[in-house]
Amino acid sequence: MKYYNNILETIGNTPLIKLNKVTSNIPALVLAKVETFNPGNSIKDRMAVKMIDDAEASGKIKAGGTIIECTSGNTGMGLALVACVRGYKCIFTTSDKQSKEKIDLLKALGAEVIVCPTNVEPTDPRSYYSVAEKLSKEINNSFWCNQYDNLSNAQAHYESTGPEIWDQTDGKITHLIVGVGTGGTISGTARYLKEKNPNIKIWGIDTYGSVFKKYHETGIFDEKEIYPYITEGIGEDILPKNVDFSIIDLFEKVSDKDAAIAARRLAREEGILLGYSAGSALAGLNQLSEKLTKDDVVVLIFHDHGSRYIGKIYNDDWMRERGFLDSEIKVKDLILAKKDKAFYSVEANEKIRNVLKIMKERDISQLPVLENDDIIGTVSENSILSFILENPLNNADKEVKQIMSDPMPKVSMDLPMSLLNKCFTEKIPGVITKDQNNQYHVLTKYDVIRAL
């Protein structure tokens, strides 16, 4: 018979999978260490067991004790598995930017979860670090894992992730690309690989809003680098002891948008449903592709599973609200939504009274003014009415070109709606666009509101 004695024995030995379509522009062989195959669906299972193994060995936790940790979910999941199998209680503190799915998963495994505010200093008593520390002092026989500074974290990857990657690539790996949070994954894996071959390049992926890259390049911990971001699992506002800056060759920052789009590509083009930071790693690889050659063997570590982000990066509305979708509503979509698609215009020598009549009949508030088929200006209902009011007696023969304002700005049919507002002015709240049949269309602020 072949079986495991408990779920913890299934941790590790995850597959290395070649990426194909999403790396078609990269000259190197790109392999993904897909850590979703761990029982908790993330790489953090590896270090969770190691932290508890080491705590048990040194007597820091005893039977029936309570595991405490600040975790964005994945470490919590690994620790919850250990707690179930070994009979511990679990209390996790997490930040309010984490997916609800992640928090519910921890609760499903019997853990207690305390949600703390994200946008407070780590030293603030409300932060998830401070709350975890306080609980660990108050609760007897409790062990605060402190994955940031507990070196069992990196050691787990030195003992498992590193050797697996070395063996799976037959020692041919040339580059390791890893998102950096606590730093455990990159530092432990890199230490093993560099011991085997010091020429292997170690590239850390960071987020905008995190201190790592600047600190690595300048030695300066710059608080100005810190601001809220959306990517989950990587980037920090502290320097965890598990980040071994000396072993990392470079840091690359990836934006929230690029990471989200890259994660969606991994799902749709490779069939691998992964978390946000996997997108960061892939986008980082793309940003660094010029440094690679056809002889390189690149390993990306993908930390966690996409099921935890279904309400976020895999949800079109969530993506759209943040302006992350390239399929954002465009001018052409708004034109399609217009009920009356005809293009109305007036000649420059048209009498303004006639123009007012046309506007009333067609329920139009502004019109392009044409001369020899060129659009030379715009006339609006407001400007006509003002003119008639100011010149009540001698307006009958006046031509529209005498009161017209500048032409409406011309925009492309592909202009995203989010940029359209910049084109509208108070005087001319409309734009002109031309479709593939060379047919003009006017799009006013009012059309946009009606379409929405």
Cβ-contact 183, 243 below 8 angstroms: yes
Cβ-contact 112, 91 below 8 angstroms: yes
Which residue from 275, 279, 284, 430 is in contact with ligand PMP, where contact means CB under 6 A?
Answer: 275
Which residue number, 283 or 356, has a Cβ lying nearer to ligand PMP? 283
In our burial notation (b when 16+ CB lie closer than 10 A, e otherwise), range 38-47 reads bbbbbbbbbb
Which residue from 233, 279, 377, 429 is in contact with ligand PMP, where contact means CB under 6 A?
Answer: 233
Task: Say whether 128 sits in a helix, a strand or coil.
Answer: helix
* Residue 168 Cβ vs ligand PMP, minimum distance, rounded to whole Å: 19
- Scan for tokens 């993904």, then name that residue: 32
Distance CA 275, CA 80 (A): 20
Angle between the N-to-C axes of helices 256-265 and 276-287, in degrees from 0 to 180, rounded to the nearest 10: 100
Six-digit token string for 335: 């034109």
Cβ-contact 404, 376 below 8 angstroms: yes
Site string for ligand PMP, 176-195 (x = CB under 6 A): ---xxxxxxxx---------
Distance CA 401, CA 371 (A): 9
Determine which one of 33, 44, 50, 257 is catalytic: 44
* Residue 9 Cβ vs ligand PMP, minimum distance, rounded to whole Å: 22
* Residue 73 Cβ vs ligand PMP, minimum distance, rounded to whole Å: 7
Distance CA 429, CA 423 (A): 8
Which residue number, 185 or 378, has a Cβ lying nearer to ligand PMP? 185
Site for ligand PMP in 365-404 (CB under 6 A): none
Site for ligand PMP in 47-106 (CB under 6 A): 72, 74
Six-digit token string for 83: 């707690």
Which residue from 303, 312, 330, 441 is in contact with ligand PMP, where contact means CB under 6 A?
Answer: 303
Which residue from 234, 259, 273, 346 is in contact with ligand PMP, where contact means CB under 6 A?
Answer: 234
Give the type of residue at 32. A
351 is catalytic: no
Which residue from 206, 225, 304, 350 is in contact with ligand PMP, where contact means CB under 6 A?
Answer: 304
Q: Which stretch, 163-171, 231-239, 284-292, 420-428, contacts ligand PMP (CB under 6 A)?
A: 231-239
* Residue 369 Cβ vs ligand PMP, minimum distance, rounded to whole Å: 57
* Residue 199 Cβ vs ligand PMP, minimum distance, rounded to whole Å: 23
Nearest to 276 by CA among 233, 237, 229, 316: 233
Task: Report the residue count for the chain.
Answer: 452
* Residue 86 Cβ vs ligand PMP, minimum distance, rounded to whole Å: 22
Which residue from 95, 277, 378, 433 is in contact with ligand PMP, where contact means CB under 6 A?
Answer: 277
Angle between the N-to-C axes of helices 74-86 and 100-108, in degrees from 0 to 180, rounded to the nearest 10: 0
- Binding site residues, ligand PMP, CB under 6 A: 44, 72, 74, 179-186, 232-234, 275, 277, 303-304
Active site residues: 44
